Amino acid sequence: MNTECMAKEMRKLILTSLYHAKSGHPGGSLSCTDILAVLYNEEMNLDPADPKKADRDRFVLSKGHAAPALYAALALKGYFPAEDMVTLRKIDSYLEGHPSMKSTPGVDISTGSLGQGISTACGMALSAKLREENYRVYAVLGDGELEEGQVWEAMMFAAHYKLDNLCVFVDLNGLQIDGTTAEVMGSDPVPDKMRAFGLNVIEIDGHDYDAIRAALKTARETKGQPTCVVAHTVKGKGVSYMENQCDWHGAAPKQAEYEIAMKELENNG
Amino acid sequence: MAELKATRDAYGEGLVELANEYSNFYVLDADLAKATKTITFKKQYPERFIDCGIAEGNMIGVAAGLATCGNIVFASSFAMFAAGRAFEQIRNTVAYPHLNVKIVGTHSGLTVGEDGATHQCLEDLGLMRTIPGMIVINPSDATQMKAALRFAVEHDGPVYIRGGRLAVPVVYPEGSVTYTAGQSYRIAEGNDVTLMFCGHFHELTAQVKELLASVGMTCRIVDMPSVKPVDNKAIEDALKDTGLIVTFEDHNINGGFGSAVCEAACEVDFARKGPAVIRIGVEDAFGKSGTPAELMEKYGFTAEAVCRKILAAKAPEKLSLLDR
């Protein structure tokens, strides 16, 4: 499956799982889908048959509420059957509302409480440095998540310990629960702040596959400094009525909405 | 006069001793190495020591990330900032995935002294005890601290160890005690009351025992570093043999060691009359996804599940009637 096709299938799985769950977070799952598609389909050294392989690359979804996007990527790569996506958030499911490493194969760390995942990504990257191992660590932060002070503690740490095996994406979709990030808690200019914290900053369109690929290549080639890819994205990307709408941060589509979304995703592929 | 030594000093020394035996063993601190005594380790193993700066939340996350890669990780700060400030990081990022992170909070309790209330953590035992799967240990002297550290390294999962700033008597000869979860040490025999403590209370309990002896009463003394799990058998025995337990902790009486002993005491089937209290609630587990109704049922919040517990305690012969 090529990456474009994988992203389209991921979006459909995200919608389907949320529709069946009747709750969850479509907006922020759809905004980081293309980034995850490139990471899982092209970039990361992984073995779905051996999810805990020691030399695998690690992935940390620091914005854990985008769990459906992560699960969709894992399902399409064969970590578990895609049919199980409809059990998302259900009582006997292994697909928790937020990623749980004890429940779901392929999840490298449990996340959900914002600001915490990025620190664990630093720990994973540091372990590789200390033990002279070659794997890389990828993390995705939300832009609302940047309001958590711990993110900046982690950025300081990553730069201080020269974690050049760490590549952090900021899914900059501009919206959070209570409004735009500009209204709720302005974090601009994100690239300047990241640069000031010592990161190698690359700014891209987070839905442009070639731009994502190029950023990852630069990150791999950058020595002595962690990379931060500030990815400009559209919250709800791919579903017209969800795009740039705050209210689709944490609401599941009802049947009619679900059908429209699936039709749009099918036709736009 | 016994030698005086702070448990934090034993912590620094214990880390060095263990690092000799284990590879992939790392120690993190948040700019307090000189105070927590991880400096002792840092001097010996600078390449295995990571200073995280004054950022305890991030330190706990880094520790968790290191643990997911198969490392044994100790993370230290003052009890206030480790258990207090980083509580939620410990809860969600260390304990929820049950990672192999050992958190050592030094400078606990009033015996921090002159720094005052902001630094005297009186809540850490309570906070750490509420976290599912967390082992909580408050050693009473340097020797017990080293035994607790060895247990922590051998145990797969999160452990919180509470240390102190104050130099206190080394009661147990070096290397003379071993420790495992839930263990206590009966150190004096008596019939009228049991003095049960965690932390640095050897001296005070000995003084109480002596003063009571002067009025003709005898004391059993139990040193119980195991705040979670407590030694249920020692508590039950103390109740049956002496009828009264007096607990000691350098901590708020709410939520800590005394509360843990009370919980165990209330659940003792004393004199075969059944327990005094049955607690309905989440039994030291994390939640999961599901509807509220499904979750309440799964975690035992149904009339039938509650009644079964009541009948098992009060009228086991009636249990079968519920099956109809």
Helix axis angle, A3-21 to A209-221, nearest 10°: 110
Percent pLDDT > 90 in chain A is 99
Which are the contacts of A110, defined by CB distance < 8 A and separation ≥ 6? Answer: A64, A98, A99, A100, A101, A102, B92, B93, B96, B97
Amino acid sitting at position B152: A
* pLDDT, position B64: 98
Quote the minimal CA–CA distance from A66 to chain B in Å.
15
Amino acid sitting at position B74: F
Question: Which residues of chain B have a CB within 8 Å of the CB of A96?
Answer: 288-289
A267 vs A159, more confident: A159
Q: Are B122 and B164 in contact (CB under 8 A)?
A: no
Residue carrying structure tokens 């190495």: B33
| Structure tokens, A239 | 């579903």
Contact B55 A97 (CB under 8 A): no
Q: Are A79 and A116 in contact (CB under 8 A)?
A: no
Task: Give the integer Cα–Cα distance in Å for A69 and A182.
Answer: 25
Mutation target for A interface from B28, B93, B99: give the one with most A CBs within 10 A: B93
CB count, 10 Å around CB of A184? 15
* pLDDT, position B1: 67
**Out of A91, A97, A123, closest to residue B63 by CB:** A123
Quote the minimal CA–CA distance from A2 to chain B in Å.
31
Radius of gyration of chain B (CA): 21
Query: In this complex, is the C-beta atom of B287 within 8 Å of any C-beta atom belonging to chain A?
Result: no
Amino acid sitting at position A44: M
Distances (CA, A) of B186 to A58, B172, B202, B270: 48, 12, 12, 21
**Out of A101, A126, A150, closest to residue B97 by CB:** A101
Contact B65 A123 (CB under 8 A): yes
Query: In this complex, is the C-beta atom of A105 within 8 Å of any C-beta atom belonging to chain B?
Result: no
Query: In this complex, is the C-beta atom of B48 within 8 Å of any C-beta atom belonging to chain A?
Result: yes
| Structure tokens, B198 | 């965690």
Which are the contacts of A221, defined by CB distance < 8 A and separation ≥ 6? Answer: none
* pLDDT, position A19: 98
A247: DSSP letter: G
Question: Which residues of chain A have a CB within 8 Å of the CB of B48?
Answer: 130
For residues A213-234, give the mean pLDDT. 98
* pLDDT, position A59: 98
**Out of A91, A123, A128, closest to residue B290 by CB:** A91
Q: Are A235 and A244 in contact (CB under 8 A)?
A: yes
For CA atoms A143, A148, A153, A158, the dihedral sign is negative
Percent pLDDT > 70 in chain A is 100
Q: Which of helix, strand or coil describes residue A143?
A: coil
Q: Where in chain B is the domain with CATH 3.40.50.920?
A: 185-269
The b-or-e profile of B74-101 (16+ CB within 10 A means b, else e) is: bbbbbbbbbbbbbbebbbbbbbbbbbbb
Query: Which is nearest to B245 in space by CA: B272, B213, B228, B268?
Result: B268
Contact A91 B295 (CB under 8 A): yes
Quote the minimal CA–CA distance from A248 to chain B in Å.
20
| Dihedral pair phi/psi, residue B197, rounded to 5° | -140, 160
Question: Which residues of chain A have a CB within 8 Å of the CB of B90?
Answer: none
Please name the fold of domain B4-169: Rossmann fold (3.40.50)
| DSSP one-letter string for B46-88 | GGGEEE--S-HHHHHHHHHHHHHTT-EEEEEEEHIIIIIITHH
* pLDDT, position B188: 98
Distances (CA, A) of A131 to A8, B24, B183, B260: 38, 8, 36, 41
Number of domains within chain A = 1
* pLDDT, position B313: 92
pLDDT in tens, A43-93: 999 999 999 999 999 999 999 999 999 999 999 999 999 999 999 999 999
For residues A6-11, give the mean pLDDT. 98
| Structure tokens, A209 | 């596959």
pLDDT in tens, A27-44: 999 999 999 999 999 999
Asked if the peptide bond before residue B229 counts as cis, ω within 30 degrees of 0, the response is: yes
CATH 3.40.50.1240 fits B185-269, yes or no: no
Domain with residue A14: its CATH number is 3.40.50.970
Q: Where in chain B is the domain with CATH 3.40.50.970?
A: 4-169
Query: In this complex, is the C-beta atom of B69 within 8 Å of any C-beta atom belonging to chain A?
Result: yes
Q: Indicate if the pLDDT at residue A234 is higher than 80.
A: yes
pLDDT in tens, A160-192: 999 999 999 999 999 999 999 999 999 999 999
Question: Which residues of chain A have a CB within 8 Å of the CB of B289?
Answer: 89-91, 93, 95-97
Task: Give the integer Cα–Cα distance in Å for B218 and B209.
Answer: 7
Q: What dihedral angle (degrees, nearest 10) is formed by the CA atoms of A237, A243, A248, A254? A: -80
Task: Give the integer Cα–Cα distance in Å for A116 and B68.
Answer: 14
Query: In this complex, is the C-beta atom of A119 within 8 Å of any C-beta atom belonging to chain B?
Result: yes
Question: Which residues of chain B have a CB within 8 Å of the CB of A89?
Answer: 289-290
For residues A17-30, give the mean pLDDT. 98
**Across chain A, what does the average pLDDT equal?**
97
Question: Which residues of chain B have a CB within 8 Å of the CB of A113?
Answer: 88-89, 92-93
Residue of chain B whose Cα is closest to the Cα of A117: B61
Contact A123 B97 (CB under 8 A): no
* pLDDT, position B324: 75
Contact B65 A127 (CB under 8 A): yes
| Structure tokens, A67 | 């769990």
Q: In terms of DSSP H, where are the helices of chain B?
A: 7-21, 33-36, 38-44, 56-68, 79, 87-89, 124-129, 142-154, 202-213, 232-242, 257-266, 292-298, 303-314
Q: Are A110 and A118 in contact (CB under 8 A)?
A: no
Query: Which is nearest to A101 in space by CA: A145, A70, A76, A139?
Result: A70
Quote the minimal CA–CA distance from A154 to chain B in Å.
6
pLDDT tens digits for chain B (324 residues)? 689 999 999 999 999 999 999 999 999 999 999 999 999 999 999 999 999 999 999 999 999 999 999 999 999 999 999 999 999 999 999 999 999 999 999 999 999 999 999 999 999 999 999 999 999 999 999 999 999 999 999 999 999 999 999 999 999 999 999 999 999 999 999 999 999 999 999 999 999 999 999 999 999 999 999 999 999 999 999 999 999 999 999 999 999 999 999 999 999 877 667 899 999 999 999 999 999 999 999 999 999 999 999 999 999 999 999 987
Q: Mind telling me the catalytic residues of B?
A: 56
Query: In this complex, is the C-beta atom of B133 within 8 Å of any C-beta atom belonging to chain A?
Result: no
Q: Indicate if the pLDDT at residue A269 is higher than 60.
A: no
Domain span at residue A235 reads 3-268
